[in-house]
A = this chain, B = another copy of it.
């Protein structure tokens, strides 16, 4: 696959060569030594690790070293609440829940409602408030322990985050932010400050506890530029550099059949009913493609077939068995998963109201 894609926190398009990204971003592959360490804690390996969905990291070894010394880490990730959640968003969140359970770790989850408002002048404040609540339902439906989750909605919980963001912003410059994120003159000045707002939660637990609390960020590799800046300032602040564990991005379904890394592409939303799911999947032109370039196969790979043997059978059968069968099976699985998800989601309304301090 040629590295002709664009990937940064705001644009993902074209075909992404994930191995080249490791080189370009200066991260490290998750190797067998790290996988062995994970096995030690869990007896097995999450399928996202076995399959290299989570495939790259920074300082994951350091965080595990600290964990073994008894210095527990906090997990930090987040979401820009400007629309509904699709299956691609669930990938890192499912892995995040696995991390929370495995390491009995606190999760700090940031809603970057401020970022979304800066990015899109048409978006209203009511809309981001609405999507914050809706997205939070999707997150909590995945089974996180409420007692170990803290929400930070930037516009709502500014007192938690602005003070720490300022510590970060004092230790970087406009030139640095420009070099990493490439802003221009038409950008809102808030956007220059925003990387510090996204950096702040990495240090909030250290601030509170008055000692270095390690932080591990599970997220799409497209978010990496934020953490490069954050790691530079961590050193200046005397805090541990936040560690990252990066995942590949679930490709969009594509009507024409050409698999694209653009997110969401033709996405399946968690609120899509059975008919819509059926229609979206049936539309995909799969003819003549092998598993490597078939977006349906990617859905099994990332989310809907946890058994490696069953997955191998799907891959091996590809081309031999009718695509229609493969589609029908996927439609059924997606609909089953989403139906259960929506029931759990509805059950989280009071939890989310609590967590948002509404």
List A residues at the B interface (Cβ < 8 Å): 114, 117-118, 121, 125, 154-159, 161-163, 165-167, 169-175, 177-178, 183-193, 195-196
Contact = CB atoms under 8 A, between A and B. Distances in A.
> In the assembly, how many copies of this chain are there?
2
A174 B188 contact: yes
Given A118-B169, A156-B159, A158-B163, 6 more contacts: A117-B166, A121-B170, A154-B162, A155-B166, A166-B190, A189-B193
A156 B177 CA distance: 26
A232 to B, nearest CB: 13
A81 to B, nearest CB: 14
Contact of A118 (B114, B157, B170, B177): B170
A175 B188 CA distance: 9
Contact of A186 (B174, B185, B187, B193): B174
Contact of A189 (B118, B125, B157, B177): B177
Interface of A is mostly: helix
A177 to B, nearest CB: 5
Contacts of A163: 155-156, 158
Given A118-B166, A166-B118, A174 B192 contact: yes
A169 B187 contact: no
Lowest 10 A-B CB distances belong to which pairs? A175-B185, A169-B190, A193-B193, A158-B162, A158-B158, A189-B192, A192-B192, A177-B189, A155-B163, A158-B159
